[in-house]
Structure 1
Amino acid sequence: MGLRFLRNGLLGLYLQRHHQHIMQVDTGFTFILFGGTGDLAMRKILPSLYQAHCGGLLPTAGRIAAVARGLSNREAYVQWMHTHVRNHVKLAGDDASWNDFLKRILFVRVDLGRPEDYALLRDIISPLSGIRVFYLATRPSLFVPICRALSTMGLSNDARIVLEKPLGYDLQSSNTINDAVGEIFVESHIYRIDHYLGKEPVQNLLALRFGNALFEPLWRREWVESIQITIAEELGVEGRGDFYDNTGALRDMVQNHLLQLLSIVAMEPPHSMHTNALRDEKLRVLRALKPIKPCDISRIAVRGQYHMGVLNGITVPAYVNERGVSTSSMTETFVALKVEIENWRWAGVPFFLRTGKRLANRVAEIVVNFRAVPHSVFGSMALRNGSNRLVIRLQPNEFIRLYCLAKQPGEGMNLQSVHLDLAFDEFFQKDRMEAYQRLLLDVINGRLALFVHRDEQEAAWQWVEPILAEWNRLGTAPRRYAAGTWGPAAASALLARHGTCWLEEEN
């Protein structure tokens, strides 16, 4: 059943003010990619820049300078791109488009630990015109040395810098990085990237709430019973065991992605779509998160670690048997939390956050469960599960789906749960922009709205740190769950205590 009343104007407010459609700047740019042969560059950054190139969204004078130390020259780097990058392009285009894109590519061999190597980088990029963007797709420990070397070489003046997560290991290390980067780059030139903020359904959530009169009056404690936010992955640590074993799901996913999604779901209407207006409202939500007391953590926080199981018909190893992971590791690969927001709009409404690796399906979604009608003239049928619910699917197949009750055809008044769909693939025929492509274009065009302000990051760390501290103090092992399941049984019990369940458990 088509969601007719949402289709007219659902995207209007946001798309008109934010994209129109990614206005192309007239001046050139130089995009300097540190970690130019890394996994992120291969899978996301370079394919996204190529898609923007094919769409005519990059200024013709723009150049891309890849920085790495593992290859000898530009020819070797171009060959590396042929072998590794083109396979990750969603729409490969023709050879002419690919070869035209390669003309933008420069390569600089730099050992990031040798300050003198930055002189070569300076000599290559200094003559290039336009704005300068430095993208640090490296481990966080290199952020400060890179920034200081850029400053020493005079390359940081009026430049923009993009910082990948994780930005630090805790609040103190995060502040150390932010302080050092802030001494060289002004805050308005620092782009802390969270790719979930670039996803189309996340931005459609803004349009849904603030561009339509239907939902905003219901978006509050009087009408909302609970909200679930899930980011589930089928993948394991994918060869990053040495990194992940020192990070864990709470730092890797909750402190950034999940809390950012929470802040967008729960924020007050901003006075405009201006960068500071959006960020200010998200920050208010993060500062209103109810602090978690150590004595409550075992009751409202579940941590788990996957062991051997069957996923899509294939037996996968336990986390502790992954390459780079300690066999005695107590790092969590799963987290479920009950979160509360202490303000008038959301007081008393539980937000359930969940993320994990090696789960049954790859899915990211927001589920808004509305309260049941106060008095049902149809009896208990009108109170059944599956109705009065809004599901916003972020991946893999993006949609917005409203569940409600309708009468079944035939004799009698028998009700059935039905849904009204806005399926983006069906309604919007044009290709949608991938999250990284949108965010990279925003950096080039100087738009900060979809990036994280330092204050947001600090507020998130301040809320997360007591959980980390208590887990470390207790020293108890995470609950085990079989790969290919939805996590520990305790995660289901967490919701059951509040009279609800995870979305997939209803079926």
Structure 2
Amino acid sequence: MAEETRHPFLHGLSKHRGSPPTVIVIFGASGDLTARKLIPAIYNLGFDGLLPTDFHLIGFGRKPIPNAKFRKIAEGAIEEFSRRKLSKEVWARLAPRTTYMDGGYDDKKAFVELAKTIKELEKKTGQELQTLFYISTPPNVFAPIIKNLGASGLASRYLGKPHQSRVIIEKPFGRDLATAQALNKELTTVFAEDQVFRIDHYLGKETVQDLLVQRFANSIFEPIWNRNFIDHVQITVAEQVGVESRAGYYEQSGALRDMIQNHTMQLLALTAMEPPVSMDAESMRDEKVKVLKAIQPLKLDGPDPDFARAQYGDGVIDGKPVHGYLNEKDVAPQSGTETFAALRLSINNWRWQGVPFYLRSGKHMARRVSEIAIRFKQPPGNLFGASSGFQLASNTLAFQIQPDEGLSLILNAKIPGLETRTQPVKMNFKYATTFGSNTPEAYERLVLDAMIGDGTLFIRGDETERSWQLCTPLLEHWAKQGREGMDTYASGSWGPKAADKLLAGNGHTWREP
């Protein structure tokens, strides 16, 4: 097959759902996320012919960088981080359309200059361009960027048209309910809600999207997805790495803010929501908000609270000794920041009444894994009960989100032989085995969806506020406690004993994926 055929972008063709001519402006263009994720995602969309014919990329940052150097940096990022090798033919098409501007995020003149640059591109191409602003900066400059996008008129370009300006904003979306509400107010003063795309890259992962297909496209699962058949649900987002060089950031964040309030809560919403009336963005997000509203407030006091928190101590990871969190550089000696958090949640609706949802996330754990595990109730009767000497396991459906994307189902089977003996067995489906290992990265799907205005896999303003409404009382409780009640766990383990206690009262135990 000729090289030209393999790279439709070389012909200026688009195979997608009609993305209009677009210019993407990345604020924070010299940052780590841009190099590791955004530029490789844009390159791979170009490789697959999914960028519009007239596509332009403008990097915007405070650091002065000549265009030629920025292109070289972008090329290096593709070589290092892209899931595909650099194609010189594809990059030769993208590189001339990749430029850089420097300016202060609080400098209105820099944004006026950006508006002029985009107008010049429109004159050059002879058509109107959709502008997609990607805010990939520290959260302390979110507000001035949003304000200047409004003051310069960039936010209101072609408002109401299919190619109106749009903005993607990275997490953290606030630090608590009050700051999330304030940021939403800043955004909606300048942008309409349908212009705003709050990104959570977990929603772009293949297995997360497959969760909806498994739930609503398979008759063997849909009728039993409720309290009559499901015993409990466990959602785990575990990291093997520690805080590494990010201790300064992490001291202001912690596991609850960093992972549970956003990623893990989104996984819960997709697992527990009612069937939407259609696949459009508002129908999907309406159902997620409904189920988040049905979650009961956390019990914070008493002998059996609905949470556990801890910091990792010394331990062993991959055969190498590692030190505890309090010995990390830039961590306060009396730090009250949790590196592990677990919650026990109750959803007060017909479908989930009485079914506990357990969420946990931590650093320096036994292995890197993100999964949703649905554990079903034992069948009635005792034909094959434990009292009869049979080895049985609860049927468990597990969605492996990372690192090995796939699906597994634990069943009980008869061991071959003259006697009736049983053994738990696992049925596995792996994306890499069935579809190949070179599946699109989450950011590719999300950037593409934002270009066409599809907000299905993005978070709506009321959705993030409801999530913060659930987590903020716990954050305030911990702030009052300081280090009081802080547990520890060995690095390389699955977490503290306090997390086991969350499940023990219901006769449950954590999975070790």
TM-score normalised according to structure 2 size: 0.91
Report the residue type matching 1:40 in the other structure: L
1:430-479 alpha-carbon deviations (Å, 9 max, x no partner): 83221111011000011001111111111111111111111122223421
Cα deviation for residue 276 of structure 1 reads 1.1
Matched residues in 1 for 2:113 and 2:202: separation?
Answer: 35
Report the residue type matching 2:411 in the other structure: C
Identify which range, 472-481 or 185-194, moves more after superposition.
Answer: 472-481
Matched residues in 2 for 1:47 and 1:385: separation?
Answer: 46
Cα deviation for residue 23 of structure 1 reads 2.0
Does 2:498 correspond to 1:499? no
Matched residues in 1 for 2:450 and 2:444: separation?
Answer: 10
Matches within 5 A, 1:316-331: 316-331=322-337
Work out which structure has the larger RCO, using CA pairs closer than 8 Å and 6 or more positions apart in sequence: 1
- Number of the residue aligned with 1:149: 148
Does 2:212 correspond to 1:219? no
What is the SS of the residue equivalent to 1:421? Answer: strand
How many correspondences in the alignment? Answer: 485
1:160-208 alpha-carbon deviations (Å, 9 max, x no partner): 0011111111111111111011011000010001111111111111011
1:43-77 alpha-carbon deviations (Å, 9 max, x no partner): 11111111111111111211111111224311221
What is the SS of the residue equivalent to 2:190? Answer: coil
Question: Are the structure 2 counterparts of residues 429 and 277 from structure 1 closer, same or farther at C-alpha, using a change threshold of 3 Å?
Answer: same
Cα deviation for residue 385 of structure 1 reads 5.3
Does 2:341 correspond to 1:341? no
What is the SS of the residue equivalent to 1:30? Answer: strand
- Number of the residue aligned with 1:332: 338
1:452 pairs, out of 450, 454, 459, with 459
Matched residues in 1 for 2:61 and 2:216: separation?
Answer: 44
Matched residues in 2 for 1:310 and 1:199: separation?
Answer: 30
What is the SS of the residue equivalent to 1:235? Answer: coil
Question: Are the structure 2 counterparts of residues 384 and 461 from structure 1 closer, same or farther at C-alpha, using a change threshold of 3 Å?
Answer: farther
> Is the CA contact (8 Å cut-off) linking 1:33 and 1:65 kept in structure 2?
yes
- Number of the residue aligned with 1:389: 396
1:464 pairs, out of 462, 468, 471, with 471
Cα deviation for residue 27 of structure 1 reads 2.9
Matched residues in 2 for 1:499 and 1:213: separation?
Answer: 30
1:279-328 alpha-carbon deviations (Å, 9 max, x no partner): 11111110000111332596221101112322112333322333333232
1:245-290 alpha-carbon deviations (Å, 9 max, x no partner): 1111111111111111101100111111111111111111100001
Cα deviation for residue 150 of structure 1 reads 1.5
1:476 pairs, out of 458, 473, 483, with 483
2:420 pairs, out of 384, 402, 413, with 413
> Is the CA contact (8 Å cut-off) linking 2:377 and 2:394 kept in structure 1?
no
Matched residues in 1 for 2:114 and 2:134: separation?
Answer: 14
RMSD over aligned Cα atoms: 1.9
Report the residue type matching 1:50 in the other structure: Y
2:42 pairs, out of 49, 60, 70, with 49
What is the SS of the residue equivalent to 2:427? Answer: strand
> Is the CA contact (8 Å cut-off) linking 1:71 and 1:77 kept in structure 2?
no
Question: Are the structure 2 counterparts of residues 132 and 491 from structure 1 closer, same or farther at C-alpha, using a change threshold of 3 Å?
Answer: same
Does 2:268 correspond to 1:255? no
What is the SS of the residue equivalent to 2:226? Answer: coil
1:180 pairs, out of 178, 181, 186, with 186
Where do 4+ consecutive residues of structure 1 move more than 3 Å? 82-85, 381-387
Cα deviation for residue 426 of structure 1 reads 1.6
- Number of the residue aligned with 1:4: none
Matched residues in 2 for 1:23 and 1:354: separation?
Answer: 37
Report the residue type matching 2:129 in the other structure: G
Question: Are the structure 2 counterparts of residues 26 and 416 from structure 1 closer, same or farther at C-alpha, using a change threshold of 3 Å?
Answer: closer
Cα deviation for residue 220 of structure 1 reads 0.6
Matched residues in 1 for 2:195 and 2:305: separation?
Answer: 41
- Number of the residue aligned with 1:374: 380
Does 2:109 correspond to 1:110? no
Report the residue type matching 1:419 in the other structure: K
Report the residue type matching 1:284 in the other structure: K
What is the SS of the residue equivalent to 1:304? Answer: strand
Question: Are the structure 2 counterparts of residues 166 and 383 from structure 1 closer, same or farther at C-alpha, using a change threshold of 3 Å?
Answer: farther
For structure 1, list consecutive stretches of 5 or more residues without a partner in the other structure. Answer: 1-20
Matched residues in 2 for 1:296 and 1:259: separation?
Answer: 24
Task: Report percent identity of matched pairs.
Answer: 38
> Is the CA contact (8 Å cut-off) linking 1:64 and 1:105 kept in structure 2?
yes
